[in-house]
A and B are shown apart, each in its own frame.
Chain A
Amino acid sequence: MSALIESILGRRLVVVTGKGGTGKSTLSAALALTAARQGKRTLVCEVAARERVSELFGKPPSGPKIHELLPNLSSVQVRPREAMREYALMTLKYETLYKIAFENPAARYFLAAAPSLSEIVMLGKVWWHAAHDLDRGKPRWDVVILDAPATGHGLTFLTVPEVFLGLVDEGPLARDMRGMQSMLADPERCAICIATLPEEMPANEAIELDQALRKHGFPKGPLFLNACFDSRFSPAEVAAVTRGGPLLLAAGEAADNHESRAQLTTHYEKVLRGAVPREVVKVPFLFDRGGFGLAAVEKVAQAIFAAA
């Protein structure tokens, strides 16, 4: 395992960001599995409307309550409504007060106009698990892994404290936002990883995301280049087989397809290594007929473990 991977799994909060479809959930699951196997009590937080991590481990959705998926490995779905309630109750202490303020229809409308309030409470919940969730005086979790929303939104999500503190600097939310901000900026306690694919749009987005993350001073985790094809045939072999007559038409096309995707991998790996000053961890493309499950997570975990 690379020193960086070893190091980030020793931090309290690991965030996996990236465009939709780049395999963030599978990577989050694989990182969680790796951490859990090292004996770390690991919690995966999902913010998407549809849970994927529990499904990858073959378990029913965890929902807004924490569920154990494997020994040392639990997951929870962070939903805005429940997070708001939990958070407000923590601050207000009394259910009655919560009802007066948050279940008042006029207040609900008013809060709906408050941009990013739902992101604030969702991030707040993740941060609470990473920083303040105690069990008999000790942290309940060694590492919290956040499967962040897709890019753009992923960055919006992480910069919520910054934006909020630009508006407001007093009150309990502001205090907590400062706590979140300091954790999100602390390379001892946090790392932000990027997931991408060897394709034009995802690669460009990863480059932009990396720049934005660095501009905001977020501690650098690795860049995961997912779904990589390794070259398997020499150009001479492809040429010979494609010209090998009718019997080799299928084989020639397959070899040519494979190599064209391997070339894309090489090309975008080079582009990304040139533009993104991060450790690049390549994860192979997985051929899976029955949909992704534990077997896929295992393979990704192996690739992460093998990263030098």
Chain B
Amino acid sequence: MKLLELLRGRAVVCCVGSGGVGKTTTAAAIGLQAAAEGKRVLVMTIDPARRLANSLGLKELGNLETRIDPKLVPKGELWAMMLDLKRSWDDLVKGQARSVEQAERILKNRIYESLSTAMAGSLEYIAMEKVYEVHASGRYDLVVLDTPPTTNAMDFLHAADRILDVLDNSAFKILFGPMMKAGKFGLKLFAAPSGIVLRTLARFTGAAFLRELSDFLMAFEGLFDGFKERAGKVRALLKSKAVAFVLVTSPNPLTIQEALFFHRALKDDGIATAAVVVNRVQRDPKRQGGPDNVAALREALTLAQIKDQDGLAERLCQTLTEQTTLADVDRREVARLRRELAGVPLFQVPRLRKDVHDLAGLWQIDSFLASATGGE
């Protein structure tokens, strides 16, 4: 079965997996296929390989939806957008804040700055938030998200909870409540009944750090409910049938491990993995048959009237052995993945001679996404 058929009826496809496994390429190939069927498709990417981005006409960040040259896309429409995470956060804050002043106060806070760029889960959360927004706009038949390279699958699925935990300032109110009511926030903070906790923390972090942190949490005062409602909608979308998760991996044991981890995390949340794509699988040259030892290679060279100079037969033999080793390792890893993901359609894309950085390359990948191997 074709990957695209498996994804029929879905409005959002999330390509998930570790960094450098070809998520962007896979997302773009899926988008191109769907567009070729006449759909309006948006591919959202975060940090794509530059040459691929350039060939798609994506030159800069900034959340701009850019249409790929219609001459290159046979039927429907293919749009692409490079997600600017910081800007998306800023937009979200501006949209939720009750006043321009409140938005400004948050945007200028230095803790907010690191929250929006560095905090675990914040990239994942804002990416999903953006998907929700674009999906809800109804502008596209299909949105394909190339997710940020996550080091922890949980970050992705529970990013919203984590962010909400941080912004939920009930804990903050327990510590600071009395002073906030009295309107005497500042140095007096440490004289409150909960003062011993704060004083002790301050001995460790310094009082200024605590003040900066409490400023930040205070700036969010009143926004929590809005954030929570929105996050609830994002989560509901993630868990709905409208969204398909495609695991993307390479045969590298580390990335396979990550993919499996991801799969389990999805399962724990009651979400089925729609498909798994294994990129860059080394093909075994020996599948072609022919001699594979030095003596036989030498004979084959003679037959083909090629001079066996500078140990050509030996070099060929060594190269064959090395690549068979690579192919064996890959085969073993793919088999492990297949065992662990019994029932999930698996697609293998062989290691191509060159990196994919144009539409021709994407079409080439399409042929490999046309048939799942086992699993069904």
Q: Are A97 and B200 in contact (CB under 8 A)?
A: yes
**Chain B, range 128-184, C-beta contacts under 8 Å to A:** 149, 151-152, 165-168, 171-172, 174-175
Give chain B's interface secondary structure class: helix
Q: Are A254 and B320 in contact (CB under 8 A)?
A: yes
Which of these, A112, A170, A200, A247, contacts B208 with CB under 8 Å?
A: A170
Query: Does B353 sit within 8 A of A, measured CB to CB?
Result: yes
Q: Are A115 and B111 in contact (CB under 8 A)?
A: yes
Q: Are B204 and A110 in contact (CB under 8 A)?
A: no
Given the interface pairs A20-B149, A251-B290, the reply to whether A257 lies near B285 with Cβ below 8 Å is yes
Q: Nearest Cβ distance between residue A75 and chain B, in whole angstroms?
A: 18
Q: A289 vs B324: C-alpha distance in the bound complex, in angstroms?
A: 10
Query: Does A3 sit within 8 A of B, measured CB to CB?
Result: no
**Interface hub of B202, B206, B212 (most chain A Cβ within 10 A):** B206
Interface pick from B7-15, B239-247, B299-307, B358-366: B299-307
Chain B residues near A153: list those with CB within 8 A.
151
Q: Are B323 and A199 in contact (CB under 8 A)?
A: no
Query: Does B341 sit within 8 A of A, measured CB to CB?
Result: no
Query: Does B221 sit within 8 A of A, measured CB to CB?
Result: no
Given the interface pairs A105-B171, A109-B165, A112-B166, the reply to whether A257 lies near B197 with Cβ below 8 Å is no
Q: A149 vs B114: C-alpha distance in the bound complex, in angstroms?
A: 17
Q: Which residue of B lies closest to A175 (CB)?
A: B206
Q: Nearest Cβ distance between residue B348 and chain A, in whole angstroms?
A: 16
Q: Are A19 and B19 in contact (CB under 8 A)?
A: yes
Q: Mark B296-328, 1 if CB is under 8 A from A, else 0.
A: 010011011010000010011001101101101
Q: Nearest Cβ distance between residue B200 and chain A, in whole angstroms?
A: 4
Given the interface pairs A19-B20, A104-B197, A245-B303, the reply to whether A170 lies near B213 with Cβ below 8 Å is no
Q: Are A201 and B49 in contact (CB under 8 A)?
A: yes
Q: Which residue of B lies closest to A89 (CB)?
A: B204
Chain B residues near A149: list those with CB within 8 A.
151
Q: Are A289 and B325 in contact (CB under 8 A)?
A: yes
Chain B residues near A233: list those with CB within 8 A.
312, 315, 319
Query: Does B373 sit within 8 A of A, measured CB to CB?
Result: no
Query: Does A221 sit within 8 A of B, measured CB to CB?
Result: no
Given the interface pairs A20-B151, A232-B315, the reply to whether A101 lies near B288 with Cβ below 8 Å is no
Interface residue count on the B side (C-beta < 8 Å): 75
Chain B residues near A245: list those with CB within 8 A.
300, 303-304
Q: Are B300 and A244 in contact (CB under 8 A)?
A: yes
Q: Which residue of B lies closest to A50 (CB)?
A: B257
Interface pick from A28-36, A160-168, A180-188, A212-220: A160-168
Query: Does B50 sit within 8 A of A, measured CB to CB?
Result: yes
Chain A residues near B201: list those with CB within 8 A.
101-102, 107, 110-111
Chain B residues near A204: list those with CB within 8 A.
49-50
Query: Does A116 sit within 8 A of B, measured CB to CB?
Result: yes
Chain B residues near A104: list those with CB within 8 A.
197
Given the interface pairs A106-B174, A172-B204, the reply to whether A100 lies near B197 with Cβ below 8 Å is yes
Interface pick from B27-35, B74-82, B248-256, B263-271: B248-256
Q: Are A20 and B306 in contact (CB under 8 A)?
A: no
Query: Does A2 sit within 8 A of B, measured CB to CB?
Result: no
Q: Nearest Cβ distance between residue A305 and chain B, in whole angstroms?
A: 23
Q: Are A254 and B110 in contact (CB under 8 A)?
A: no
Q: A246 vs B171: C-alpha distance in the bound complex, in angstroms?
A: 73
Q: Are A172 and B304 in contact (CB under 8 A)?
A: no
Query: Does B203 sit within 8 A of A, measured CB to CB?
Result: yes
Chain A residues near B213: list those with CB within 8 A.
110, 113-114
Q: Nearest Cβ distance between residue B332 and chain A, in whole angstroms?
A: 9
Q: Mark B344-376, 1 if CB is under 8 A from A, else 0.
A: 000000010111010000000000000000000
**Interface hub of A97, A149, A167 (most chain B Cβ within 10 A):** A167
Chain B residues near A106: list those with CB within 8 A.
171-172, 174-175, 194, 197
Q: Nearest Cβ distance between residue B301 and chain A, in whole angstroms?
A: 7
Q: Are B19 and A150 in contact (CB under 8 A)?
A: yes
Q: Are A251 and B207 in contact (CB under 8 A)?
A: no
Chain A residues near B200: list those with CB within 8 A.
92, 97, 100-101
Q: Nearest Cβ distance between residue A2 and chain B, in whole angstroms?
A: 28
Q: Are A250 and B289 in contact (CB under 8 A)?
A: yes
Q: A256 vs B316: C-alpha distance in the bound complex, in angstroms?
A: 10
Chain A residues near B254: list those with CB within 8 A.
20-21
Q: Are B111 and A251 in contact (CB under 8 A)?
A: no
Q: Are B206 and A172 in contact (CB under 8 A)?
A: yes
Chain B residues near A202: list those with CB within 8 A.
20
Q: Nearest Cβ distance between residue A255 and chain B, in whole angstroms?
A: 6
Q: A201 vs B351: C-alpha distance in the bound complex, in angstroms?
A: 15
Q: A24 vs B197: C-alpha distance in the bound complex, in angstroms?
A: 40
Chain B residues near A11: list those with CB within 8 A.
none
Chain A residues near B206: list those with CB within 8 A.
168, 170-174
Q: A167 vs B306: C-alpha distance in the bound complex, in angstroms?
A: 71
Chain B residues near A166: list those with CB within 8 A.
110
Query: Does B93 sit within 8 A of A, measured CB to CB?
Result: no
Query: Does A4 sit within 8 A of B, measured CB to CB?
Result: no
7 A-B pairs besides A149-B151, A173-B209, A258-B319 with CB distance below 8 A are: A20-B18, A97-B200, A112-B165, A244-B304, A249-B285, A250-B320, A251-B297
* 5 tightest A-B CB contacts, nearest first: A171-B206, A109-B171, A101-B200, A244-B304, A249-B288
